[in-house]
Amino acid sequence: MTALISSPLARHIIGRLGETCVVIVIMSFAVYGLIGLMPGDPIDLMISADPHLTSADAARLRAVYGLDRPIMERYGAWLTDALQGDFGYSRAFSQPVLDILTPHLGNSLILMGLSFVLAVAIALPAGMVAALNPRSRTDHLINLLSFAGISIPTFWLALLLIILFSVTLGWLPPGGIATVGVDTIGDRSRHLVLPVVTLTVTQIGAYARFMRAAMIETLRADFIRTARAKGANTRRIIIRHALRNALIPVVTILALSFGTLFSGALITETMFAYPGMGKLIFDSIMGNDFNLALAGLLFATLVTLLGNLGADLAYAWLDPRISYATRRKGP
């Protein structure tokens, strides 16, 4: 056990986890402060919706919600509770924050995870095919489709898909997560099709372009020429040598995208009335729901940091030259 902990890799992981904790605390302070700096509070929003609220009501409610206390005092109280696992209540849903966050997180993970896997599954082979046939018709076609996917506005694509598959053809539901009263896997899958396709289309282009560029760069490398000179067949060169090396920059991009799996996709979720994290975080910020916004943003930060840690570990697996051992001075 001691040997395991004292290994360079373990020390690296422990160090990074420590850094992650520090970043999370700093982020929590920054986010809390920024939300606190935003003008207005939940009571102002109540007043704008109900002119019958008196100034006495407003003062009483601010005291009840603790909004009359200085922001540092509120942050201190929040941090103390959060460290004990109590993230407070959501004002926008009148429920404990974790009760709201968990299902939304699950919904986002399914939506974003599916589209991520689909996008990677399509984009990486497409990028490879394009790289192996540079300036061919196939390459041009893949490039064209990639740029189309990158350029197309998400809300427009979503609306187009709804109009085509829901309004005109009536094949798929235009939104939501399930038909009320029909909660089956098939029904849930049907509700996922359009948002997943929307997200996939908008992600494929960027991944395919990265893969193509990385693969072209790798195919020009000396070790590939050497492998060819040694008589290795093309398949072996691509799979064993080129792909593994080309994946290193792509992994960085994928790792950065990993955080978004949990932070959701605001536009897609809004267009498809899909209760995910993106819309939840946006609405909670706009609705001055401090507790919910904070928990959502911190969770997204945490996952992004862990995703990057995962990417660092993947580098070592992809490229044995990368080592986490402490450097020793030479003779």
Partner 1 sequence: MDAIRHAALGLIVLLFPLMAAGHEASAQDERSHRTLAIGMTQFPSTFHPSIDSMMAKSYVLAMTLRPFTVFDPQWKLICMLCTQLPTLENGGAVRETTPEGKEGIAVTYTIHNRAIWGDGTPVTTKDVTFTWKVGRHPLSGLASAELYKRILSVDVADAKTFTLHFDRLAFDYNAINDFNLLPAHLDRAAFAEPASYRHRTLYDTDTTNPGLYFGPYRITAVEPGSHVVMEPNKSWWGRKPFFTRIVVYVIGNTAALEANLLAGAIDMIPGELGLTLDQAISFADRHGDTFHTIFQPGLVYEHIDLNLDNPILADRRVRRALLYAIDRKAISDQLFGGKQPVATGPVSPLDTVYDGHVPAYPYDPGKAAALLDEAGWKRVNGGVRRNAEGKRLHLTLMTTAGNHTREMIEQVLQSQWRKLGIEARIHNQPARVFFGRTVTMRKFPSLAMFAWISAPDSVPRSTLHSSQIPTQENNFAGQNYMGFSDPDMDALIDKIEVELDAEKRKGMWRRIQQIYAEELPALPLYYRSQPFILPPWLEGLVPTGHQYPSTLWVENWRATP
Site for partner 1 in 10-39 (CB under 8 A): 38-39
Q: Which two tokens stand for residue 98?
A: 């974790």
As a whole number of angstroms, the distance between CA 175 and CA 268 comes to 10
Residue 175 interacts with partner 1 (CB under 8 A)? Answer: yes
Residue 135 interacts with partner 1 (CB under 8 A)? Answer: no
CB of 318 vs partner 1, minimal distance in Å:
22
Residue 143 interacts with partner 1 (CB under 8 A)? Answer: no
Q: Dihedrals φ, ψ of 154, to 5°?
A: -60, -45
Residue 89 or 324 having the CB closest to partner 1? 89
CB 287 within 8 A of CB 94: no
As a whole number of angstroms, the distance between CA 59 and CA 149 comes to 51
As a whole number of angstroms, the distance between CA 12 and CA 309 comes to 10
CB of 279 vs partner 1, minimal distance in Å:
7
With contacts defined by CB under 8 A, name the span among 7-15, 72-80, 171-179, 215-223 that binds partner 1.
171-179
With contacts defined by CB under 8 A, name the span among 2-10, 24-32, 43-51, 235-243 that binds partner 1.
43-51
Residue 273 or 309 having the CB closest to partner 1? 273
Residue of 82, 150, 165, 224 interacting with partner 1 (CB under 8 A): 165
SS3 205: helix
Residues from 225 through 254 that contact partner 1 (CB under 8 A)? none
With contacts defined by CB under 8 A, name the span among 9-17, 44-52, 231-239, 314-322 that binds partner 1.
44-52
Q: Dihedrals φ, ψ of 182, to 5°?
A: -125, 75
DSSP tag of 326: P
Helix, strand, coil tally for the chain in percent (to 5): 75, 0, 25
Residue of 180, 230, 235, 327 interacting with partner 1 (CB under 8 A): 180
Residue 49 interacts with partner 1 (CB under 8 A)? Answer: yes
The alpha carbon dihedral of 147, 152, 153, 157 has a sign of: negative
Residue 86 interacts with partner 1 (CB under 8 A)? Answer: no
With contacts defined by CB under 8 A, name the span among 60-68, 240-248, 250-258, 301-309 that binds partner 1.
60-68
Residue of 272, 294, 301, 307 interacting with partner 1 (CB under 8 A): 272
As a whole number of angstroms, the distance between CA 300 and CA 280 comes to 12
Q: Which two tokens stand for residue 55?
A: 């100034």
